[in-house]
Each structure stands twice: as C-alpha cells, then as structure tokens.
C-alpha cells in the first residue's frame, strides 16, 4: 500500500515547518506493515513532492512554494440587514469599522494596519496537485488501482466524479472524510461505485 501525503510541504524551495511536523506524525502513526484479513500489507509513505507520471513521461518537476504566509485579512463583507445586538456595550460597530479599515485593533486611533501585526498561513497548489495525480492514476490503462482519497475538501469532488464515469478508469475508489460526512454528489458517487467512508476525528 502506498500512502502519499499532500500539503504545504515547501516554503519557497525549502522544507516548511509543516513538513517536519507531518514527518513526525507519520513516523509515529503510519506502521510499515499491518495485517488485514489474514494478509500482511507493506506500507510505503511519501510526500507528494512531484507529479505522478506514466512510465513514458518526461521527468516531472518538483512542486514547491506550497506554503505561503499572507499578511492581509480574509475578504469578508458585511451582511445587509444583519440583526443588531441587544447586549449593552456591544462591540459590533467597532468590529465593522475594523473589517472595513483592516486595522490591527478596534481602536479608531490605532496607527497599525492588520498586516503590521498579523500573518496567516496558506496552502497553495495542493488541491490541484492531488486532483491531477488522482486522475493520472485513474486513467492509466496499464494498471488498475484501488485509490483512497482522505480529504474533506469538496474541490476534489469533480475529479472523483470524472473517474467514475469513464470505463477505462481506476478499478475502485474510496473517499474518506472526517468533518464533512456528506456532499451534494454522494448519490451519484455511490451509484457509480465509490465507497464513502466517514471517520469521526478523535
């Protein structure tokens, strides 16, 4: 069994802190061998550092710059007609001003912008990379696989659906989810043979 992990493993072209943390996690939780229904299964683990390609393809590039830091706030809008708060001393007006102005704090006289004080981490290219690799395996006519995708990201649903409707696609698919047990495509996926698995996080 091959376990391939996708994430923000590179800050620029160097390894990110997330990569080191993930490496520790998989070393502690991903056994090199296990027994299933009387059969021993060997597990190989790898980070998704390159694209999966066929036997006759050119050498794939390394996929880097997958972990970036942003110093801007998330783009949000004020909801029209939102109900007023009935609490004495409600801070909603201050929050609204803070959202509009992207200030570092609620005080009108604060000289600092949000970007002066805060940063947020973001993964880039990861979903597209996973989807491309999945379809590369699914549509490989030389090898029939069982592919299990463990992700709550609904961005991957079109790729999974694409593999299920092509007769030359992967032999079988499991979609493992954690926090989002259902999706709008579940009926279609199940009708086309996708095994849906919901694992509650501990």
pLDDT at residue 84, rounded to an integer: 85
Answer yes or no: is pLDDT of 167 > 80: no
Q: Which of 47-56, 100-109, 176-185 shows the lowest per-residue confidence on average (mean pLDDT)?
A: 100-109
Reported as a single tens digit per residue, the pLDDT across 89-139 is: 898 888 888 888 888 888 888 899 888 888 888 999 999 999 999 998 888
pLDDT at residue 185, rounded to an integer: 96
pLDDT at residue 201, rounded to an integer: 78
Answer yes or no: is pLDDT of 78 > 90: no
pLDDT at residue 195, rounded to an integer: 95
Answer yes or no: is pLDDT of 179 > 70: yes
Tokens of 167: 């007769």
| Rounded (to 5) percent helix, strand, coil in the chain | 30, 25, 50
Average pLDDT over residues 42-68: 92
- Determine the Cα–Cα distance for residues 31 and 177; give it in Å rounded to an integer: 21
Q: How confident is the model at residue 8 (pLDDT cuts 50, 70, 90)?
A: very high
The closest alpha carbon to 30, from 153, 150, 137, belongs to 150
Tokens of 195: 């095994």
- Determine the Cα–Cα distance for residues 22 and 64; give it in Å rounded to an integer: 16
Average pLDDT over residues 51-72: 89
Average pLDDT over residues 30-53: 92
Instruction: Return the beta strands (E) in 54-179 as ranges.
Output: 67-70, 120-123, 146-150, 172-177
- Determine the Cα–Cα distance for residues 46 and 36; give it in Å rounded to an integer: 21
> Up-side HSE of residue 19: CA atoms within 13 Å toward CB?
17
- Computed over its alpha carbons, how large is the radius of gyration of the chain? 22
Q: Which domains does the chain have, with CATH numbers?
A: 2-68+122-198 (3.40.50), 79-118 (no CATH)
pTM reported for the whole predicted model: 0.83
pLDDT at residue 168, rounded to an integer: 67
pLDDT at residue 166, rounded to an integer: 79
Average pLDDT of every residue of the chain:
90
């Amino acid at each position: 069994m091959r376990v391939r992990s996708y994430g923000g493993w590179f800050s620029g072209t160097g390894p990110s802190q997330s990569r080191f943390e993930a490496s520790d996690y998989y070393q502690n939780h991903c056994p090199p061998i296990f027994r299933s229904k009387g059969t021993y299964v060997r597990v190989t683990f790898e980070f998704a550092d390159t694209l999966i390609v066929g036997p006759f393809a050119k050498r794939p590039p390394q996929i880097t710059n997958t972990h970036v830091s942003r110093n801007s706030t998330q783009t949000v809008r004020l909801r029209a007609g939102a109900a007023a708060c009935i609490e004495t001393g409600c801070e909603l007006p201050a929050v609204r001003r803070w959202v509009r102005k992207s200030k570092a704090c609620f005080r009108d006289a604060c000289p600092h912008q949000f970007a002066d004080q805060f940063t947020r981490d973001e993964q880039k290219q990861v979903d597209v990379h996973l989807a491309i690799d999945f379809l590369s395996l699914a549509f490989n006519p030389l090898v029939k696989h069982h592919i299990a995708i463990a992700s709550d990201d609904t961005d991957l649903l079109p790729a999974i659906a694409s593999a299920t409707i092509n007769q030359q696609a992967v032999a079988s698919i499991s979609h493992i989810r954690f926090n989002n047990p259902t999706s709008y495509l579940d009926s279609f996926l199940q009708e086309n043979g996708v095994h849906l698995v919901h694992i509650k996080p501990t």
